[in-house]
Chain A
Amino acid sequence: MSGSNGFKSFFIEIGELTLFAKRFFKELFSRPFEGKELLRQCYNIGNRSILLVAVTGFIIGLVITLQTRPTLEGFGAESWMPSMVSLSIIREIGPVIIALTFAGRIASGIGAELGSMRVTEQIDAMEVSGTNPFKFLVVTRIVAATLMLPLLVLLGDAIALSGSYLIENVKGEVSFVLYFNKVFKVLEFSDLIPATIKTFFFGFAIALVGCFKGYHCEKGTVGVGAAANSAVVFSSMLLFVIDFVAVFVTDIFFEL
Chain B
Amino acid sequence: MSREQNISKAIENIDTKSVILEIKDLRKSFGSNHVLNGFNLKLYEGENLVIMGKSGSGKSVMIKCLVGLLQADSGSIKIMGQEINTINQKDLNILRTEIGFLFQGSALYDSMTVRENLEFPLRRHKTRFKDATNMDELVTEALESVGLLHAIDLMPAELSGGMKRRIALARTLILKPKIILYDEPTSGLDPITSKEIIELMRSIQKKYKTSSLIITHDVDCARVVSERIILLVDGINYVEGTYSELSTSTDAQVKAFFK
Contacts and interface: CB of A to CB of B under 8 A. Distances in A.
A142 to B, nearest CB: 18
Given A121-B103, A121-B104, A128 B109 contact: no
A130 B121 CA distance: 7
Interface string B78-104: 000000000000000100110101011
Nearest to B108: A122
A112 to B, nearest CB: 11
A130 B125 contact: yes
Contacts of A2: none
Given A130-B96, A130-B121, A125 B110 contact: no
- Report the interface size class on chain B: 20 to 34
B124 to A, nearest CB: 4
A116 B93 CA distance: 25
A124 B65 CA distance: 12
Nearest to B70: A124
A131 B93 CA distance: 9
24 contacts: A113-B111, A116-B110, A120-B105, A120-B106, A121-B103, A121-B107, A122-B107, A122-B108, A122-B110, A124-B69, A124-B103, A124-B107, A125-B101, A125-B103, A125-B109, A128-B99, A128-B101, A129-B121, A129-B124, A129-B125, A130-B93, A130-B97, A130-B121, A131-B124
Interface of A: 113, 116-117, 120-122, 124-131
- The 4 A-B pairs at the shortest CB distance, nearest first, are namely A129-B121, A121-B107, A125-B107, A130-B124
A31 to B, nearest CB: 12
Given A127-B69, A128-B96, A121 B125 contact: no
Contacts of B96: 128-130
Given A122-B110, A125-B103, A130-B121, 13 more contacts: A117-B109, A120-B105, A120-B106, A124-B103, A124-B107, A125-B101, A125-B107, A126-B109, A128-B99, A129-B121, A129-B125, A130-B96, A130-B125
A228 B106 CA distance: 23
Contacts of B105: 120-121
Contacts of B93: 130
Contacts of A127: 69
A128 to B, nearest CB: 5
B167 interface: no
Contact of A120 (B64, B69, B107, B111): B107
Interface in B117-175: 120-121, 124-125
B49 interface: no
Contacts of B125: 129-130
Contacts of B104: 121
Contacts of B64: 124
Given A121-B103, A124-B103, A129 B120 contact: yes
A128 B120 CA distance: 11
A122 B109 contact: yes
Nearest to A131: B124
B197 interface: no
B67 interface: yes
Contacts of A120: 105-107, 110
A71 B187 CA distance: 68
Q: Most chain-A CB neighbours within 10 Å: which of B107, B111, B121?
A: B107
A186 to B, nearest CB: 46
B69 A128 contact: yes
A93 to B, nearest CB: 35
Contacts of A121: 103-105, 107
Q: Most chain-B CB neighbours within 10 Å: which of A117, A121, A130?
A: A130
A99 B63 CA distance: 43
A124 B105 CA distance: 12
